[in-house]
């Protein structure tokens, strides 16, 4: 059982042109003052920040074009933080839990801060057909990882341990790495059902002759 609070108040948000999944890795270069402050606070207080895909606007907010986040995002915890140069941090965060944004506001420094409710973990996969599809997806994912490792072991975009027997982990990693449109990736992340996500990525790979 999760011990997450019912509501996350004052959650700092990082709207990006990317989708973070639970269990996913997120390397970031931080250079804007509001995000440098956010990272310092998260490290000091050992708290996560929220990653939301941008619905509209830019990652660097403009006065005439506000950044509008999607309502479903993923909490990110900072695992590693290094100073690359003065005024720039390289961080590596990992996705932990999805959340639904209930409301948000823009602070004076431009940081978006939200009130969010944590979402439950995926509904477990059921049925022999879905289990078979999950097994086929896991085999493809193993081949993808082996191919990346042969080329450059340091560039594997997934954190170990690899959980090929976990339908949520397998479907999330495939959703990250398959060349699908960003909006479709967001919809996959939002699905509350591991079996439904397995079905979608399995169908995609069949269509593109990856199975």
Average pLDDT, 10 consecutive residues per value, the chain (211 residues): 72 96 96 93 96 83 76 97 85 96 92 95 86 94 94 90 95 95 96 94 91 78
Residues 96, 155, single domain; the answer is no
* Number of domains making up the chain: 2
- How confident is the model at residue 82, as a pLDDT? 92
Cβ proximity of 49 and 86 under 8 Å: no
Reading the block at residue 3, the tokens are 């011990």
Residues spanned by the domain of 203: 128-207
- How confident is the model at residue 68, as a pLDDT? 87
- How confident is the model at residue 1, as a pLDDT? 43
- How confident is the model at residue 83, as a pLDDT? 85
> Which CATH number is 173's domain given?
1.10.4060.10
- How confident is the model at residue 5, as a pLDDT? 65
30 is a domain residue: yes
CA gap 150, 153 in Å, rounded? 6
Q: Of 118, 149, 180, which closes a domain?
A: 118
2 is a domain residue: no
Whole-prediction pTM value?
Answer: 0.91
Residue 34's φ and ψ, nearest 5 degrees, are -65, -35
């Amino acid at each position: 059982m999760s011990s997450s609070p019912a509501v996350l108040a004052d959650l700092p948000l990082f709207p990006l042109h990317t989708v973070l999944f639970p269990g996913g890795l997120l390397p970031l270069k931080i250079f804007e003052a509001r995000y440098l402050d956010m990272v310092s606070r998260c490290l000091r207080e050992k708290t996560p920040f929220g990653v939301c895909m941008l619905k509209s606007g830019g990652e660097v907010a403009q006065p005439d074009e506000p950044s509008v986040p999607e309502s479903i995002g993923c909490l990110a915890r900072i695992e590693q933080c290094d100073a690359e140069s003065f005024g720039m941090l390289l961080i590596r965060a990992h996705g932990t839990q999805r959340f639904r944004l209930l409301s948000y506001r823009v602070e004076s420094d431009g940081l978006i801060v939200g009130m969010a409710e944590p979402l439950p973990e995926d509904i477990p996969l059921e049925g022999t057909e879905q289990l078979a599809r999950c097994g086929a997806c896991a085999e493809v994912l193993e081949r993808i990882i082996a191919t990346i490792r042969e080329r450059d072991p340091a560039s594997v975009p997934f954190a170990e341990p690899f959980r090929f027997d976990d339908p949520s982990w397998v479907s999330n990693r495939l959703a990250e790495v398959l060349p699908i449109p960003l909006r479709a990736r967001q919809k996959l992340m939002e699905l509350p059902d591991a079996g439904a996500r397995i079905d979608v990525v399995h169908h995609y790979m069949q269509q593109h002759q990856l199975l």
